[in-house]
Structure 1
Amino acid sequence: MMGPVLAACLLIILSTAWISQANGATCKEDGGVCTCNDQTKNVDCSSKGLTAIPSNIPTDTDRLELGYNKLSSLPRTAFHNLKELTYLNLDTNKLQTLPPGVFDQLVELDELHLNYNQLKSLPSGIFDKLTKLTDLTLDQNKLQSLPHGVFDKLTLLEKLSLNNNQLKSVPEGAFDFLEKLKMLQLQSNPWDCSCRDILYLSNWIREKKGTVSNIDTAGCEEGGKAVLEITEEEAAEDCVYPNTTTAIPTTIITTLASSNDDDIPELPVPQENFQKFLGYQEPDHLPTQPQCLMSISGYLGLMMSLVLTSAAILYVIHFLKKA
């Protein structure tokens, strides 16, 4: 009767070993590119020249370093299995956009760093699920505007950095729900102090000065004045900035409605736009050479495990028949 017992034990050991290999395949000791610490649950994938998120990051990871790589885009599901993550560093990549929902599963996240990227805008609701976030940095990007309510769910946020972007104003009520905020970095933005849109920020800074640090460093693009010094008389214009509305001018609608089809000239459509219209999309990323090796080793490990598991099962069946 020892035969079936030994075979069953072998089957359990093989299954456990394969699961461990699959969970840790991203780490150097398993042929991956990242450094993993099982005790602290830290995974360091920084400065690896990565163009894609490594596969099989351990699901119990607490801190994930992905800074100083060449990431230009993120899949929407890039972090959906990392529900225990409390720290995520995406500094100094080439990120131009963030897909909606990319952070939705990171419900335990405490710090998120997105400095030194190329973000021009943020999707609406991009931070809505990060209700435990206390530190958010967006320095050195190309943000031209902020969506209405983009920070409304971050009621525990203590630090927010927006230095060195292209912000001319912030939406009405942008910081109203940040009751725990202790520091806000706003300098080195081209704040437009001639438009009424700046008045919310100016009034908010005056109200919070002394309780929120660094806010008085925000300066107007022209005139050399601080934003908090701007009065209603100075901010008298009703300004509309580019990329803040998708409305089509009424004159264009009227012209198109009154024109015959023959009068409308053909406009050249770039190939990439035509492909998007047809629903064609480029893949989010191509795997790097180390990742390809990781995938190959993973498949070989899986095949070997399946072969050994099959042998163990046949061994059990053989002894059961004899019994």
Structure 2
Amino acid sequence: MISPPMSVRTPLTECVPASKEFLRFLKEKEGCKALSSFEDTGCAGFHLEENCIAITTEESTSVLSIENSLKRSWHDFDMKKAMRVSLLNQLCAHSQTVQYSVNQAALIAFFKHLLLRESGVADLIIESNGAVSWFGPIESVNHARSMIERMFQQFSVVEELSLEPENVRLRNNSHLDAPESPSAWQDPFSRYYGTAEPQTLERAPSLGSPTETTNDVSQVRIGGTRRKERLMFMVRSSDAPRLIGTRGVNKKRIEDATGCSITLHTESKKDGEFPVEIIGQNTRHCETAKSHIESFLSNSGSSVEEEKKFRERPKVHLVFSPKKTPGTPRKEKEDHSL
């Protein structure tokens, strides 16, 4: 007896649009775990593309439920990370955030435990887009930055630069000549020994920069911009109006006084706080701007409290007798004299 042929279920593939942030999460450790939880059970298969996620499932499986589950995992991951950063900002006096290339961030992630032990920073957070943040005392923060720069030199990790001629501009039509012998190449460690001040370090050049062309290389601008330092810390949401001021006057004064650019990310409020981003030429400028903001908020806070106490004082209303009409005759005083 011939058995009837079994019906073969054809898998369906649907492309779900996804933001860059969502795709970035799915490429990280927690995101890969969320994808594996579906793939291990045979519910679905995933392929990450540039602007979407290709989800392959059977007809009986809902793609929408899978998408919602992945987004819940993303939301939980972001919430935990925000709470972690907020706690580190409260416990640590100093922090630093630097945007590196993906290759450089991968090297930092590989030596993360060594950096934590040798530098003494409290924690080090590495994003998949190359942003790296570390927290701790000012000495530890500076030492960690110095170790990272020396690490790039030692392992010859260079930035991802575009070599198109229109993206590179030289001052005074400078010409860079290649060295004639290997002896002309610079020792990668000689430039960074004996210092733990990150504000004096420029973006690490590629390994083997020729010594005779160092002065010209320092004048090259990639994409018309130079390396800047960024510092972020949390401020109470109630301090936003005072920090901004009328038409941004207070914020502008602080920027003029410190030489830094200040951005208030009020759209990212969490637990009654929002992040303030400071961008300056070096760490010292960023720390000065942060101290200026904290001093300004503490001083303005005391004046606001005094004004509030003044407004809360009980008000005394004087009750006046009603006005007399012009036609009312004035009552003469009775004369009781004999």
TM-score between the two structures when normalised by the length of structure 2: 0.23
Name the structure with the higher strand share. 2
Higher helix share: 2
| Greater relative contact order structure (CA < 8 Å, 6+ sep) | 1
